[in-house]
Amino acid sequence: MKFVLEKTDGQTKARAGMLNTQHGLVRTPVFMPVGTQGTVKTVSPQDLTDAGVQMILGNTYHLYLRPGDGLIREAGGLHQFMNWFLPILTDSGGFQVFSLAELRKIDDGGVRFQSHLDGSYHLFTPESVVDIERNIGADIMMVLDECVSYPCPENDAEESVRRTLLWAQRSKNRFQETLPSARLQQSLFGIGQGSTYSDLRRRCAERLVEMDFSGYAVGGLAVGEPKSLMAEITDQSTEVFPQEKPRYLMGVGKPEDIVDSISLGVDMFDCVIPTRNARNGTVYTRRGKLVIKNQSFQRDFQPIEESCSCYTCRRFTRAYLRHLFQAGEILGLRLTTIHNIHFYMRLVEDARSAILANRFSLWKKDFFNVYYANHS
Amino acid sequence: MKFVLEKTDGQTKARAGMLNTQHGLVRTPVFMPVGTQGTVKTVSPQDLTDAGVQMILGNTYHLYLRPGDGLIREAGGLHQFMNWFLPILTDSGGFQVFSLAELRKIDDGGVRFQSHLDGSYHLFTPESVVDIERNIGADIMMVLDECVSYPCPENDAEESVRRTLLWAQRSKNRFQETLPSARLQQSLFGIGQGSTYSDLRRRCAERLVEMDFSGYAVGGLAVGEPKSLMAEITDQSTEVFPQEKPRYLMGVGKPEDIVDSISLGVDMFDCVIPTRNARNGTVYTRRGKLVIKNQSFQRDFQPIEESCSCYTCRRFTRAYLRHLFQAGEILGLRLTTIHNIHFYMRLVEDARSAILANRFSLWKKDFFNVYYANHS
């Protein structure tokens, strides 16, 4: 994988770039919809490409448990298995082990946990996770890290940084000793931790850079800390990370957080928000969110958003979508998901165009003015 | 609507024809997937046309209760509301009142019932149902009939035929006194009843023909009676119905029943079987059904059917579909639905081609030989 930095904004740290992978080019900033179990929930690969998706995320924890990375390897890798031939990034499973699994027990060797599906016992080590991600065959693999919750005592955060760095080095070693299952190139990204402690975050990021990964992620954010802290840490992290490598803010986020983080020099994002909200009937527009189930949309024969060119907006009205949700029809979940994904794609594409055209700050101001217009 | 009979088979009563509606031509024999609540469950209009669907059925009972025929009329009719611009047929709601609603009370005036959704009270009369179907705006409307269960005492069946004929005439009168909501042509079909009593069935069919409808349906079958009786009644009915009008066997059925009924002179079919079975993970192939969730498909990297050209078979393996069902992913429901609908479309298209090529009997024999090959 090769990253080309095309442009850095003059007034902010916003960047436009290009990730060159064996499954094609990815223009950054990029938002990756989350395909937890080998599908982005409710939509097909065709729906994703139609909505402008360039790259998706797969969850190593879920795929390892079901259908199993061995089966995915037999299928020819996750791209083949799910019929998605654009780039894929897999997380390390660390976050899921710490949020979903039961009875986890962590030491320097790795983390033992019980499957949330059937209670079976498993062990993730930095090495085993690299092996699993090799089997899955994603274009970008993430190292196993230790995620702490917020708030976190400084001692615990320090200990987690120590372990995260230890694991990062072991991941890197394993990565260098192994080859992809298919004849594909895979890249490995490091993940910075350190909770909300600036010194820890900086030290962790610096050590990761010394290890020389293909890209760098900010992990452990968007877990309940104030927005200002999230911005501060993101800002500090991108100061440490090298210009010529892609930066990825994991698990973020809301449209406003993405726009803010782009201006702090982040290139890559993933989050379940657009897809999960869609399934709850919450849809995004330039002027904020709508709850499509509301009575007020019963006889509203406009599309979700007049200016939107997604399949849903080109074909269906708010009244029809509301009816589908009221009637419990699955098509409703897909149509709102298509719209929300398209909204996110347009958001990062617009940010990119603005960066390339030297008008990012103006665009950002306009975005917030319109997005919050109905909130005041 | 105009029906053109293109060809009648020499050895059987199978027919190939063309329904000419304001929403386009429909080649018969035709199978109509069921779109109960303004969507064929799990799929979009695009999925339907991609699978070769020519015409769908909407359920008047469901649409009347939710979102309401008034709202559908405001939306510009069901075609506009659900973004489906090929022909639609609406049933009369009779069957649903007798199978879903509670506390129904029937007399010659109509049928009172409680909504299965909220227990509210409603009245369907032959006239109100025509009005509702006018609001929905389907190309083909069905008259309100009285459905009896199987088995049914002869006296009750006779009484239901009397009422069904009374209602058919009142429906026809109302139809002639009213106009479509949109500037569309709508046609009205009569429905034959009479349970499993030949004389009643014949008398009912003859009286309907005297009333002169645009097409004739056989109702009240596939409700538990033996296959041989279903065939006998269908055969008798198509003897009475005029050659130059389309014949519709309501609620049928399994692939084998469709093939058998085509040879008895039926032109139109609808049934929830392909879509409902798909959602249960049962898929159709030329060689019979498969239960995609079975363990045996865990590592089966073939499509459902090698020779099938549907989106699902062109892109996904049995192993992947099984995984989606195991993981409870909605995409699985849609992919199996697309396949089953495509299977049904291919089935009736193949029957039609065989009729036109003077080889229907041979084709039918081959179909059964292959379809039952694994059942012996």
A375: pLDDT strictly greater than 90: no
> Are B147 and B179 within one domain?
yes
Whether residue B330 and residue A335 make contact (CB cut-off 8 A), yes or no, is no
Nearest to B334 by CA among A89, A40, A86: A40
Residues 6+ apart with CB under 8 A from A273: A253, A254
> Are B198 and B313 within one domain?
no
Instruction: Indicate the range of A174-188, A357-371, B224-238 predicted with least confidence.
Output: A174-188
What are the pLDDT digits (tens) for A29-75? Answer: 999 999 999 999 999 999 999 999 999 999 999 999 999 999 999 99
For residue B327, list chain A residues with Cβ-Cβ distance below 8 A. 37-38, 66-67
For residue B333, list chain A residues with Cβ-Cβ distance below 8 A. 330
The reply to whether A274 falls in a domain is no
Name the one residue in this structure whose structure tokens are 């910075």: A192
> Are B211 and B331 within one domain?
no
Cα A95 to Cα A90, A143, A201, A299, B113: the distances in Å are 12, 11, 18, 43, 53
DSSP 8-state class, residue B271 = E
Task: State ipTM.
Answer: 0.97
Residues of B with CB under 8 A from a CB of A: 37-39, 41-46, 66-67, 71, 74-76, 81-83, 298-299, 301, 311, 315-317, 319-320, 323-324, 326-327, 329-331, 333-335
> How many structural domains is chain A composed of?
2
Grade residue B375 by pLDDT with cuts at 50, 70 and 90: low
What are the pLDDT digits (tens) for B100-109? Answer: 877 789 999 9
> Are A231 and A306 within one domain?
no
Q: How many CB pairs under 8 A join A and B?
A: 108
What are the pLDDT digits (tens) for B283-333? Answer: 999 999 999 999 999 999 999 999 999 999 999 999 999 999 999 999 999
For residue A327, list chain B residues with Cβ-Cβ distance below 8 A. 37-38, 66-67
- Residue A300 annotated in active site: no
Grade residue A23 by pLDDT with cuts at 50, 70 and 90: very high
Give the distance from residue A179's alpha carbon to the nearest chain B alpha carbon, in angstroms: 24
B303: helix, strand or coil: coil
B37, B71, B320 member nearest A81 (Cβ):
B320
Side-chain half-sphere CA neighbours of B198 within 13 A? 6
For residue B38, list chain A residues with Cβ-Cβ distance below 8 A. 320, 323-324, 327, 329
Grade residue B275 by pLDDT with cuts at 50, 70 and 90: very high
> Are B96 and B196 within one domain?
yes
> B271, B302, B336: which is the final residue of a domain?
B271
> Are B225 and B358 within one domain?
no
> B271, B295, B330: which is the final residue of a domain?
B271
Bridge partners of B35?
A: B58
The reply to whether A39 falls in a domain is yes
B156: pLDDT strictly greater than 90: yes
> Are A329 and A243 within one domain?
no
For residue A333, list chain B residues with Cβ-Cβ distance below 8 A. 330
Q: What is the pLDDT of residue B234?
A: 98
Residue A179 sits in a domain whose CATH number is: 3.20.20.105
B19: helix, strand or coil: strand
Q: What is the pLDDT of residue A197?
A: 97
> Are B184 and B299 within one domain?
no
Q: Which long-range contacts (CB under 8 A, 24 or more apart) does B72-77 make?
A: B72/B38, B72/B135, B72/B136, B72/B137, B73/B135, B73/B136, B73/B137, B73/B181, B74/A299, B74/A301, B75/A301, B75/A317, B75/A319, B75/A320, B76/A301, B76/B182, B77/B135, B77/B136, B77/B137, B77/B181, B77/B182, B77/B184
- Overall pTM surpassing 0.90 (yes/no): yes
The whole-angstrom separation of Cα B353 and Cα B45 is: 25
Whether residue A331 and residue B298 make contact (CB cut-off 8 A), yes or no, is no
> Are A207 and A332 within one domain?
no
> Are A265 and A284 within one domain?
no
Residues 6+ apart with CB under 8 A from A228: none
Give the mean pLDDT of A123-133.
Answer: 97
Single-letter code of the amino acid located at B230: M
Residue A376 vs residue A310, higher pLDDT: A310
> Are A139 and A172 within one domain?
yes
Range of the domain at A349: 279-375
The alpha carbon of B75 is separated from its chain's Cα centroid by a whole number of angstroms, namely 25
Interface test with A, best of B116, B329, B338, B341 (most A CBs within 10 A): B329
Whether residue B324 and residue A43 make contact (CB cut-off 8 A), yes or no, is no
Q: What is the pLDDT of residue B224?
A: 92
Q: What is the pLDDT of residue A323?
A: 98
Residue of A nearest to B322 (CA): A67
Give the distance from residue A130's alpha carbon to the nearest chain B alpha carbon, in angstroms: 23
> Are B234 and B118 within one domain?
yes
- Residue A47 annotated in active site: no
Give the distance from residue B38's alpha carbon to the nearest chain A alpha carbon, in angstroms: 8
Active-site amino acid positions of B: 91, 270
Grade residue A278 by pLDDT with cuts at 50, 70 and 90: very high
> B219, B242, B271: which is the final residue of a domain?
B271
Interface test with A, best of B41, B44, B279 (most A CBs within 10 A): B44
Bridge partners of A30?
A: A268
Whether residue B298 and residue A67 make contact (CB cut-off 8 A), yes or no, is yes
For residue A76, list chain B residues with Cβ-Cβ distance below 8 A. 301
